[in-house]
Amino acid sequence: MNQHSGMASLWTASCLILVTSLLGWLTLRSVMSETQRSQQQMFAAQALASSESLLETAIAQIDSVYSGQDIAIDSAFWRNASNSQCPSPLTSLEWQCLKWTVSGVGTFDPRISQLAWPESIDLPNSSVLFVRDVRMAPHKIKIMAQISLNSDQPGVGSRATVQQSLYIPISAPWTPPVSEPTPQPAPTECTPIEWRTQFGNITPAQLKAISTAQAQNGLTSVSQPSRTVYWIDSPLTWTQSLGTNSSPVVLIFSDTACALQCPQIASQAAITGMVYFQSSNACQNPVALHTLNAEAHHFDWPTGIDASKVQRVSGSWKNAGF
Amino acid sequence: MPFHHLLKHSQAGFTVLEALFASVILALGLFGSFQLSTASMAAHQSQRNLDLASGLAQDLAECWQVPSAYCISQFQSSQNSSTLSTEAGIQFKRSWNTTSISTQGTDPMLLQNLKISVKWPSQDKFNSTSELSWQIRRASTPTWVGL
């Protein structure tokens, strides 16, 4: 009987130990999982802070490229852009994408000095993507920064993506020309149409940069979608038909093209849109075209904006991919 | 049941050895359980401190990015550190340093880096401190907010 009592007390003590150990273990597990959750939340916040830092670096990079410089820098900045770098929903030719990675030093033109990246990020697994629509909105760049934390950080491998859009001074808000009653010039008189009455505040240098961007991205008269802005410096006779009623073009023959005599437009070449000669030499050549109020150079700007500087697009910040 | 039978049972009881043996095992179990609870509490407290430090760092980082009167005054003052205490008496010392990141010919204000450090007494080791570092950058590019 005594032996049975001993067994019972041993059994009871063992059960108590088991129960208390189980409770202790469950408590520890609970605390540990809470600790892990809390740590992961902190790592995610740290990764987000680093991605924001990289985004700010990219914004400052754009600002330094475009502020107070000749707009011709635009083509140098996008020199290594490629449509193949675009994310999957933006594969058509109008999208221009430039991937900025530290491992690919020389992404930018040598004239453009690069800002240093944040120390916390894992360089081979991080990148910045600059994206814009060269046809409809060449003045609006979407920047997407994607980072992974490096091994110096406690949350090594944590990833985050953040994006924001910027306005760049490559065009200007369209202002319709003020129609003033002007006396009709005599047929022999040759007065070129004033630039501002046709193009508003957008400058020749800006339209030239847009034309270069479209050509740089592979847009042509036969591509889908087609090129809409043509800045021509060549004095050779123009033989290509351009534009359609749904997609009229702007064809500008520059001062350079018109240095001696503006280029002629071949009789078989039909231009739908607007042809503009920067020189009075144009009057020597007859131009046959279907004149349309080409909107190829009308870009969507918010009302009242000062388009001469780099600005963030309000409400465009997102912490996600495309 | 006859009375003498009950008497015999009640007298049987536990021997001292059995009771001692059971008590030792129970004490070992309770000690282990206590250790687990202590470890849990320490881990919990340590994590709580890290959360607080992270919150303090993030709070300052966000303040730096928002141009409110309070935040501007905080960064304009010459003192770039502050000490905060929890209800448990743990002191967190927050210090920060702003640097310019620029290249040759760029405006020094174009891109700035804020480095925040939060220090507090360590739970694990006596007379040592834990530290959390936080960094954030800000470009001076304005946002178009309309007229």
One domain, residues A160 and A251: no
Cis, bond preceding A87 (omega within 30 deg of 0): no
3-state helix, strand, coil in chain B (%, to 5): 45, 25, 25
- For residue A59, the chain B residue with the least C-alpha distance is B139
Decide if A105 is inside a domain: yes
The answer on A235 and A131 residing in a single domain is: no
- pLDDT tens, position by position, B56-110: 999 999 999 887 888 888 888 777 888 988 888 899 999 999 999 987 777 888 9
Q: Which domain holds residue A142?
A: 42-172+307-312
In a domain? residue B4? no
In a domain, B147, yes or no: no
Please state, in angstroms and rounded to a whole number, the distance separating the CA atoms of residues A162 and A147. Answer: 9
Note down the domain range covering B76: 12-139
Nearest to B143 among A31, A45, A312 (CB): A312
The answer to whether residue B66 sits within a structural domain is yes
A170 Cα to chain B: minimum distance (Å):
16
Q: Which residues 110-129 of B have a C-beta within 8 angstroms of A?
A: 110-111, 113
The pLDDT, as a whole number, for residue A26 is 87
- Report, as ranges of residue numbers, the positions in chain A whose pLDDT lies below 50: 1, 186-188, 288
Question: Is A24 in Cβ contact with B137 (below 8 Å)?
Answer: no
Q: What is the pLDDT of residue B107?
A: 85
Strands A159-167 and A311-313 come out as: antiparallel
Per-residue pLDDT, A280: 64
Rounded Cα distance between A251 and A230, Å, is 5
Structural domains in chain A (count): 2
Kindly state whether residue B93 falls inside one of the protein's structural domains. Answer: yes
Gap from B141 CA to chain A (nearest CA, Å):
6
Whether A63 and A149 share a structural domain: yes
Q: Identify the pLDDT of residue A320.
A: 74
- Reduced to 3 states (helix: H, G, I; strand: E, B; else coil), residue A277 is strand
In a domain, A137, yes or no: yes
Residues of B in contact with A119 (CB under 8 A): 135
Contact list in A for residue B11 (CB cut-off 8 A) is none
* Contact between A225 and A92 (Cβ < 8 Å): yes
Tell whether B14 lies on the interface with A, counting CB pairs under 8 A: yes
- For chain B, the domain total comes to 1
A253/A236 Cα distance (integer angstroms): 10
Q: And the tokens for A259?
A: 């240095």
Instruction: Using CA coordinates, name the residue in chain A closest to B35.
Output: A24
Is there a single domain that holds both residue A153 and residue A53? yes
Residues of chain A contacting residue B30, judged by C-beta atoms under 8 Å apart = 20
**What average pLDDT score do residues B11-35 get?**
77
Whether B55 is covered by a domain: the verdict is yes
What is d(CA B118, CA B90) in angstroms, rounded to the nearest whole number? Answer: 12
